[in-house]
Chain A
Amino acid sequence: MIPGSAYIVGAIFGVIVATTLAGALIAVLSTRIIRSVTGLALCCIGLAGLYYFLGSPFLALMEILIYVGAVCVTIVFGVMLSEPDEPEPRAFKGRELAWGIGAVLVSAAVFWGAVRLASGWGRLSTAALAKADASDGSVRTLGISLLTTYSLPFELISLVLLVAILGALVIAHGGRSRQ
């Protein structure tokens, strides 16, 4: 093992976490929606790195494929078909300020509570667990259990996707025929 490799891994982990947090902040805070979509894509790339660290390269690939490749591109098409930019904030009147403070308070309370919950799990680490599976979460295991144990949810999710596609077509088309 290379002597400084643990620090290199730690630095990569830090970069990935920073990417995720910065992407989420950009997605939430920017006023132009197209920048917000870019922030969502950045956040999903960071999440893919986190999944890789959690021992699932397959999920990392799927995250990039589905979120960056499909969801963000679809939202970009939605942005092109409408005018989604946030309206200009009207010079911070009282209600706007109250909503902003309320939103910050609610999200800070949620974050604080969840971190309190998370610190209870703080002693858990992979070093303390038994070295059970080095190769367990592989794509082969995943595919076998998708086609045996979880075959019913697998079929159901394909049905849900089919219904969603048809529903999206019907809804988007019905609005057009009215004009």
Chain B
Amino acid sequence: MTVHLHAQAAAYLTVAAFLLAAGIYGLIRRRTFIGMLISGEIIFSAAALNVMTLNRFVARDPAVGQIFVLFIMGLAAAEVAIALSIIIAVYRNYRSIHSKEVSELEG
């Protein structure tokens, strides 16, 4: 009997690898802060999917993987709140959130 794809760890790990690669591409290519933030969220999701997959297939524990992914989600939500408030503050000062134009610091 063949093992179906949804019961194999490699399928989930490959999806997570694709998400990581897409997030890194977006981080390099995006020229606005919100685009970079979205790419960062995709990288977070890839890490969470990896943790959940390895919890399911390798380190079988009923709760630790789910709790770890929940903490990742909570940290991602906190990160988004902080980053968006910084982005809005930067936009008020510079009238732009393009990463090329926001390039000076004042002490």
Beyond A84-B35, A103-B25, A115-B17, whether A157 also contacts B52 by CB under 8 A is: no
Task: Please name the residue on chain B nearest to A9 by beta carbon.
Answer: B6
Contact yes or no, B41 A81, CB < 8 A: no
Q: Which of B23, B79, B80, B82 has a CB less than 8 Å from the CB of A171?
A: B82
- Which residues from chain B contact A62 at a C-beta distance below 8 Å? 70, 73
Question: How many residues on the B side are at the interface (Cβ–Cβ under 8 A)?
Answer: 79
Binding site secondary structure of chain B? helix
Binding site secondary structure of chain A? helix
Q: Which of A28, A56, A126 has a CB less than 8 Å from the CB of B22?
A: A28
Question: What's the nearest-Cβ distance from chain B to residue A31, in Å?
Answer: 9
Question: How many residues on the A side are at the interface (Cβ–Cβ under 8 A)?
Answer: 97
Interface residues of A in 147-165 (CB under 8 A from B): 149-150, 153, 157, 160-161, 163-165
Question: Using a CB–CB distance below 8 Å, which chain A residues touch chain B?
Answer: 6, 9-10, 13-14, 17, 20-21, 24-25, 27-28, 33, 36-37, 39-40, 43-44, 47, 50-51, 53-56, 58-59, 62-63, 66-67, 70-71, 74-75, 77-79, 81-87, 99-100, 102-104, 106-108, 110-111, 114-115, 117-119, 121-122, 124-129, 132-133, 136-138, 141-142, 145-146, 149-150, 153, 157, 160-161, 163-165, 167-169, 171-172, 174-176, 178-179
A-B contact pairs, 5 of them (CB 8 A): A36-B35, A59-B52, A122-B9, A126-B56, A171-B89
